[in-house]
Structure 1
């Protein structure tokens, strides 16, 4: 992986974490046990500290950065969707930040809270636990249901399993020129999009 020290400070990656070879880690970055860092994620600890705690995931094309002296933190089992931007904020334990959402400086995403895709969480906003948050700017919509929190936990567990799969079998290769007969499919864990879960429960 592209990994750079700056001012003598080197990133730290727990041996049980998976950092994709195209992700970039710079300076004061700490990636904890069992964490997953996806392709093309950028974790820039060249001003403030970046911390990814145990079992959290930061998916493809995410950006994490902060002002000097700040910490940008994803706590245990945090879940950061594709393309999200976190800047000088804290995402608490078991929370989810959706795809292409932005969470700004000194904001706090509460424990088990879900920030919807494309939401904008303004600087300094403290979001309560177990809430669904959406909009531009982001606002609390309602409290999460038990089934929504269970759906989030299942999705995070899938990424924790992906970390193990990557350690076991991810290798760089050349593509085939055509699909082979009876081409196998990827393992299909029993997790569905939230909209499908709600539809089935209706």
Structure 2
């Protein structure tokens, strides 16, 4: 992975975390145990600190950045969907940020909450635990059910397992044709089902 020390601060990655080789880590970045960081993610700790706590995942093309002296944090088991941008905010434990959502400075997403795909969470926004956050600008629409939280948790477990599976990732040249009886990727028995609320 491209990893850069800046002003004497070198990114820290726990040995049990998986960081895709195309992800970029710069400066004051701390990646905790069992985290997953996907392809082309950018973690720029060149102004503020970037932290992923244990079991968090940051999927492909996500960006984490912040203003000087700020912390941008994904707490334990936080889950950030493809293309999301986190800037100087805090994502609570076991919360989910949907695909292409943007969460701005000093916003605090409550534990076990879900921010819908494409939402724009304004600076200094806060929400209670287990909130459904929707829209642009985002607002809380209701409390999540325990079933919806369980759906999110199952998805996060899939990404924690994916981090382990990626130990078998090998760079290779593509084939020129599909093989006869091509196998399919097998999934864990805990594969999440689609939720209707997001």
TM-score band, normalised by shorter chain: over 0.9
- The alignment of Structure 1 onto Structure 2 pairs a total of residues equal to 195
SS in 2 for 1:194: coil
Which residue of 2 is the match for residue 174 of structure 1?
173
Choose 114-123 or 186-195, whichever is displaced more.
186-195
* 1:145-167 CA distance string (max 9 Å, x none): 11100000000000000000012
CA RMSD of superposed structures (Å): 0.8
Runs (4+) of structure 1 moved beyond 6 Å?
none
Unmatched 5+ residue regions in structure 2? none
Shift in Å at residue 138 of structure 1? 0.3
- Separation (CA, whole Å) in 2 of partners of 1:148 and 1:187: 24
The runs of 5 or more residues in structure 1 that have no matched partner are none
Written as runs of structure 1 = structure 2, the 5 A alignment for 1:18-37 is: 18-37=18-37
Task: Report what 2:65 is aligned to.
Answer: 65
| Rounded Cα–Cα distance in structure 1 between residues aligned with 2:144 and 2:8 | 44
Distance in 2 of aligned mates of 1:66 and 1:151 = 30
TM-score normalised per structure 2: 0.97
Within-5 A mapping of 1:1-202: 1-167=1-167, 169-189=168-188, 190-195=191-196
Q: TM-score, normalised by structure 1?
A: 0.95
More helix by share: 1
| CA–CA distance in structure 2, aligned partners of residues 188 and 15 of structure 1 | 24
Q: Per-residue CA shift, 1:95-134, capped at 9, x if unaligned?
A: 0000000000000000000000000110001111001010
